[in-house]
Structure formats: C-alpha cells, structure tokens
Amino acid sequence: MPRVSAWFVRAALCHLVLGFVIGGLLLASKGVPLGFDPWPLRPIHIELLLVGWMIQLVMGVAVWIFPRFVLRLKPQRSAVTAWLAFALLNAGVLLVSAGLLAAGRLVEIGAAASFAIHLWGRVSPAGLSDI
Amino acid sequence: MPPLARWYIKSAMIYLIAGLLVGAIPPALAIAGPTYVHLLVVGWITQMIFGVAYWMFPKYSAEAPRGGNAVAIATFILLNVGLVLRVVAEPLRAMHPESLPGWLLVVAGIAQAAAALGFALNTWPRVKVR
C-alpha cells in the first residue's frame, strides 16, 4: 500500500487501542469504583474511535484501493492532498481531545476537504479518468 | 475467505440485526441506550472491519499470510465475550444493581480493550509500504 495509507492505517490502529482502553475504563466504572472518575474522558473515547479509528481507516484504505489512473496526471498534487488530509485529521483529533472542539472540528473539515479533493477524480470508471 | 474472517463477518451481521432490534423497541432503547450504540459500533462496524482487514490486508509472510493465528483467534473471542458480557450485564445492572456482580463489566471492558490490542498487534506488521 502507499506510504500515506500505511500512516493512516497505523494511526487508526493507535487510536483504536487508546479508544478501547478508555472505553474499558468507562465500562468498568459502571461495575466497580475505580478510585477516579473516568467520565470526563468520554468525549475523547468517542472522538478517538469515530474520527481517529473509523474515519481514518476508511480514508487510508480508500487512498490505497481506489483506481489510480488519475494519479498519473497530477501525482504531486495527489500526494500533497492525501498527506494533508492525514496531517489535518490527526491534528483535529488531538485538538478535539484537548478540549478545543471548534478549532479541532475546523481542522477536521479541512482534512475532509483535502481527502475529497484527493479522491474525487479517482471515483470514476476505467477509461473515463481524465477529470 | 479464511474461516476466522467468515466468523467475524457473520457475527457482525448478527450484531447488526440485534442492534437494530434493540433500537426498534422504545422501552429496550430507554434501558439499553449504550448497549444499542455498542452493538452497532463495536459488534457490527468494528467487527466487520476486523474481519475484512484480517481477510484482505497484505500478507504477513508466505508461511503465515495473516500473522499469528493464536492472536487473531484470541482477538475474536475476547471481542465477542466482552461485548456479550456487556450486552447482558450493563442493562441488567442498570435496572437492578444487585442482580449481577459489577466485576462482570470490568471483565467486559478488559476483554474488549485486549481485543483491540490483539487486532492492532496482528495487523501492524501487515501494513506494508510498496
């Protein structure tokens, strides 16, 4: 798979583990007292798993497996948009997890836009790829 | 498709139906809101991802194309034991706190977190740049 996809997938795996560990703490706290309150971590749990894991994995796999005819036309721009999506998505997850919700979401919207720009031309049937 | 991937994907479809059933019954949804969400997000989506990734990601090696079998099987068991424990114990304890011991939820949490770690460990070496 392309290097950027490998980074997407590896980052997604990191978010998966961290998100599940926090989720495990939240669930355990419903059964026994843990000695601390893990519930302020709930928004981070959701952010890590929804954006950091699922959305990130989908982006990484899409960059890997979608048709690549268009990449030959503008390889540099394609690489830049994919890497930018990766950087912005992870920066957004960090910002939201740090409590900077609005800033984080704006950065994530930038990631989504960059990802869409990257993938848009690749969503095409074979032979009709000159868009 | 390897047997374990089939198990993942078939289990995912069962959780999808179970999750939608819980969501379709307002009294059940009121009691088991988090259970409903996790049936769909863990049982359906995450399990489907685990199964398809186990099946289709690049081969680890010619001898062991999908990495360590023991880790992969343990991951499947831990994810499902953890989720089923949660589905049973969480709503029951919400209704009647003394009905089941609280440590069941601790086991459920540890099992699912261990499953995530197992999946990450088994998948990481298969994420190869070419």
DSSP track, B47-99: HHHHHHHHHHSPPS-SSSTTS-HHHHHHHHHHHHHHHHHHHHHHHHHHH-TTS
Q: How far A8 CA lies from chain B's nearest CA (Å)?
A: 10
Which class for A37: exposed (0-12), middle (13-18), buried (19 or more C-beta within 10 A)?
A: exposed
Q: How far A52 CA lies from chain B's nearest CA (Å)?
A: 13
pLDDT of residue A81: 94
Between positions 86 and 105 of B, the ones with CB within 8 A of A are: 86, 89-90, 93, 101-105
CB distance A28–B105 less than 8 Å? yes
Cβ-Cβ contacts under 8 Å, A13 against chain B: 119-120, 123-124, 127
Average pLDDT over residues A49-70: 92
A130 pLDDT above the threshold of 60? no
A vs B: CB pairs below 8 A: 78
pLDDT digits (tens, 9 = 90+) for B13-32: 999 999 999 999 888 888 88
**Residue A54: both structure tokens together:** 């699922």
Beta-carbon contacts of A130 under 8 Å, excluding residues fewer than 6 positions away, are A70, A73
- Closest CA in chain B for residue A26: B109
B115/A91 Cα distance (integer angstroms): 26
Instruction: Label residues B109-126 b or e (16+ Cβ within 10 Å = b).
Output: bbbbbbbbbbbbbbbeeb
A6/B129 Cα distance (integer angstroms): 6
pTM across the whole model: 0.92
Cβ-Cβ contacts under 8 Å, A2 against chain B: 129-130
CB distance B90–A30 less than 8 Å? yes
Q: Are A53 and B126 in contact (CB under 8 A)?
A: no
User: What DSSP state is assigned to residue A36?
Assistant: S
pLDDT digits (tens, 9 = 90+) for A64-108: 998 877 777 776 668 899 999 999 999 999 999 999 999 999 999
Q: How far B47 CA lies from chain A's nearest CA (Å)?
A: 12
pLDDT of residue A131: 41
Average pLDDT over residues A108-126: 90
Q: How far B115 CA lies from chain A's nearest CA (Å)?
A: 9
Between positions 46 and 85 of B, the ones with CB within 8 A of A are: 46, 49, 58
Residue whose C-alpha is closest to residue A23's, from B2, B93, B103, B38: B38
Complex ipTM > 0.95: no
Residue whose C-alpha is closest to residue B83's, from B23, B8, B21, B27: B8
**Residue A64: both structure tokens together:** 């890997």
pLDDT digits (tens, 9 = 90+) for B40-93: 999 999 999 999 999 999 888 888 888 878 999 999 999 999 999 999 999 998
B107/B66 Cα distance (integer angstroms): 28
